[in-house]
Amino acid sequence: MGIFDKVKAVGKEVGIGLNAQEQYQRAYGKGVLLQPPDYSSAVKHFSKASEMFLQEGNADMVKLAKANAALYELIDKRDLNALPEVIQVLEPITEIPCIGSQDEMIQTSLLIAELRSLQYEQQAKECGNYADMTLEYMNAAEGFMKLGNAPLHISERLRLEGPVEKAVLRAFYCEGLSDYYSALSIIMSSPVQAHDHMQKAASSFRQAMVTDWSKTVDDHIAKVSSKSHCWMCGREMQGEDVFFKYYPAETEDYHTQLLESSNDDLRMIDNAGHVTVCTVCGSAIENQADRYATMRADEVRAWADQLFEQTTNVLKNHNERLCSLERVAHRH
């Protein structure tokens, strides 16, 4: 090998004098295929390669290099707000190498479908109201369901909560979330309907095999389905902690007997030292108690302010006398 060839070889090793194809190849050799992979290096080399392909007028490779750069940047940064841009650069191409491979190809339509569903999930997290969350998660679920038993390609690398390996499991997970938020959106107007939605959510979470969510929803179901009469107004209410609460109170066996003899609802005192009170009666009592407490606190404050003022005046008076005494003492 001559001296110029040697210089060229060294140059290429550090990335100087590469052509576009070599630059593209470098994204794999110095990024994707490293153990562990260096995705930020891959992004850098794919981006550089796309510029070089542009100069060479190779439009197809420009698109491919750009799409790869966007995908690996998504995986590297895990910024889900970038999803719309990633989808946009994937759309003009039909096939792309699988993540982590150079030879195995995948149809971009599959990736786009996965990313669109993830985008719906992201929108659900950001929209901030239960009704919209219900819709966004339902859209995400429909997208994942269309992918059926296919494996997911990107979700696992984004460290998302919930199932990330199979599309169908993530579909059930999103369906569960949709029903869960639907239950929350409706609970104040209909605990009965909220109960139905919670039950659907529970069944979806079981199918998705997400035990933490199953437990959360089962706890909600127990509360939203429970009923009791209000000790104060006597109305039957459904939904513990929503439409009735347990308030501390003195209850004895005698009260149980009274309820039994009048065929009244024993659930009102099924928690020792408490009675169930509906949230209307309970809030009326609490608000009134708050008003009294505030009035009393204001009275105490006025009394204390007056007292402090008197004490301050006395101290000031003493101080003045002391000063005048000192002045007299100095003169002698």
CB of 232 to Zn ion, least distance (A): 4
CB of 281 to Zn ion, least distance (A): 3
Nearer to Zn ion, 110 or 232 (CB): 232
Nearer to Zn ion, 143 or 282 (CB): 282
Nearer to Zn ion, 64 or 275 (CB): 275
> Count of alpha carbons within 13 Å of 154, Cβ hemisphere only?
29
Residue with tokens 């859209």: 139
Under the binding rule (CB under 5 A), the answer on residue 27 touching Zn ion is: no
Under the binding rule (CB under 5 A), the answer on residue 230 touching Zn ion is: yes
Under the binding rule (CB under 5 A), the answer on residue 232 touching Zn ion is: yes
CA neighbor of 153 nearest in space, from 84, 212, 81, 104: 104
Neighbouring C-beta atoms of residue 150, cutoff 10 Å: 14
- Pick the binder of Zn ion from 99, 140, 187, 281 (CB under 5 A): 281
Under the binding rule (CB under 5 A), the answer on residue 278 touching Zn ion is: yes
Instruction: Give 259-295 as a DSSP string.
Output: HHHTT--GGGG-STTEEEEEHHHHHHHHHHHHHHHHH
Under the binding rule (CB under 5 A), the answer on residue 233 touching Zn ion is: yes
CB of 276 to Zn ion, least distance (A): 9
Query: In sequence order, what are the residues at sequence separation of 6 or more whose Cβ sits closer than 8 angstroms to the Cβ of residue 85?
Result: 70
Exposed e or buried b for every residue in 298-308, given b needs 16+ CB within 10 A? eeeeeeeeeee
Nearer to Zn ion, 233 or 314 (CB): 233
Nearer to Zn ion, 155 or 251 (CB): 251
Binding window for Zn ion (CB under 5 A); candidates: 36-44, 51-59, 223-231, 324-332: 223-231
Under the binding rule (CB under 5 A), the answer on residue 268 touching Zn ion is: no
CA 80 to chain centroid? 13
Binding site for Zn ion (CB under 5 A): 230, 232-233, 278, 281
